[in-house]
Structure 1
């Protein structure tokens, strides 16, 4: 193999390599009357010659200009590495720990992981090992991954591995992580990043999502990372439900676990929103849903959640209408206080407690139908029920309502058996 060729060159004044940064900050200031940059000699391996001889392309050569290494790779820049906190619960208002909403690995998808990761990049969440963002997650690298994976608590690099399975480099897909846990100095020398996809055909660089000083960022990064190249291990989250290798199949129990704050709020569209609405309706929030719960987050969901939170006696700060681990835990366990009937509920069509006609149609099944039937029986129209009122709308309910409407002197279309707001008002007056 031919010997590598070297040449001398004058580095640019703004050269960002670690050596030049350190040299500029430690060299003496020029004496008065002397100007200019003292020439610096530096050996540079001609990449083409060495690559041809070794058949290897250094990853960093594939990176776009303007992308720099992680701060801990730059000596003497005055910044600490990436210190992180230990395992801790999610935090609620004013940074107070919140009651965990369950344990285990909540199910999620790759798209959801990347969407959550991008939300912090957009918000430029400041790096901190002691502070918690509005979604309850700690603002360090491990808290960031805990948030993106939708975990029910804040983990650290020493515990994240138990939520994933080791994979090979060739198996990496967006949403997986690269984990470096430094056992010699766990809290100061460790780091974890989210893999966002390869940026070149040779798989020598990739798009990274990471929480690092000064704030969350996404950029092209050499594989596996700027430094500690032998310490990063790829992992895949165990709770993936999109059919990816290594993902666990749904077992029917994961839905009882808090899916993460990012699953709710403006723009959210998923099955967890539907589940939330259904649980709230069962706890007395039916009047807030004129069309029934659905997968798209709406003002109906926020108001219903707020009503349930206020039913627990929580103050304005805690009753913000966004479900956190504590709200979710009370709903899935059936604990806490229900929303009082007609107490704080909105008046549909000006009639308190009336949920809307959408609840009284063929195929519908809900508590409002049961409540309607029980009221009709108490009013003397129980003869239409062979086995008593139930939650599913059927012909017995329609005939009983029509009979009540006729008893009010209504005829024709006014006595069609479909309970409108006036029928409801007279029944429950």
Structure 2
């Protein structure tokens, strides 16, 4: 698998929150139960490498953050979700391109994708693990009421930071970044830049 060098993100402001900040009410997409046709189109038997590659592809094309599928009006962000170039594909267009949309696509979940509540709390689909057990393709997720953030974990860097693929907030494109999480004794992670606690979450079939 060809992977480009990890991009670096300067986290210089506490105002840079994820797909739902601690002091904001960011609805992380409206979850609609998938149709039988959508379920039939879900890729089966994805490996961790597949998940990682799918998330990397999404970030490589610079997918614009949207809480709606392509071509729809995003009332939260205040713009029409207009994907162009390599980001405009029949595979991606039915998905929300917010944080949980990226994770849903990477995990092979049907469009428009799960929200962070499903990723974080639905134990029939996912399970939380400790940071010591994190593997490529796991999600790193927080959820608080109607707001939350999630990202795909690629791996640990030599300096202890985590390389992740994420959609952060309105107006930004998907990111391949390194985040210096603090590793808590209970297995959770803390991202000092947004002040929230995250848990590694695993899709059960991976």
Q: TM-score normalized by structure 2? A: 0.66
Question: 2:153 maps to which residue?
Answer: 195
**Alpha-carbon distance in 2 for matches of 1:66, 1:106:** 33
Distance between the aligned counterparts of 1:211 and 1:176, measured in 2?
Answer: 15
Question: Higher helix share goes to which structure?
Answer: 1
1:88 pairs, out of 32, 37, 43, with 32
Q: Is 2:168 the partner of 1:212?
A: yes
Q: Give the total of aligned pairs.
A: 160
Name the SS for the 1:100 alignment partner.
helix
Contact 1:105 1:239 in 2 (8 A): no
Match of 1:169 in 2: 131
Tell me which of the two structures has the higher relative contact order, counting C-alpha pairs closer than 8 angstroms and 6 or more residues apart: 2
How far did residue 239 of structure 1 move?
Answer: 1.3
Q: Which residue of 2 aligns with 1:239?
A: 205
Change in Cα spacing, 1:218 to 1:172, as seen in structure 2 (3 Å) is same
State the secondary structure of the residue aligned to 1:158.
Answer: helix
**Deviation for aligned residue 1:208:** 1.1
Distance 1:196 1:65, change over 3 A: closer
Give distance in 2, aligned partners of 1:215 and 1:65.
13
SS in structure 2 at match of 1:117 = helix
Partner SS state of residue 201, structure 2: strand
1:341 corresponds in structure 2 to none
State the 1:194 CA deviation: 1.0
TM-score if structure 1 supplies the norm length? 0.34
Q: Does the 8 Å contact 2:95/2:105 carry over to 1?
A: yes
> Is the radius of gyration larger for structure 1 or structure 2?
1
Moved over 4 A (4+): 80-83, 102-106
Q: In the alignment, what sits opposite 1:306?
A: none
Task: Show structure 2 runs of 5+ residues with no match.
Answer: 1-5, 71-87, 182-188
Residue 222 of structure 1 is aligned with which of 180, 197, 205? 180
Per residue, is there more strand in 1 or in 2? 2
1:156 aligned onto 2:147 = no
Where structure 1 has 5 or more consecutive residues not aligned to the other structure, the ranges are: 1-63, 91-96, 241-429
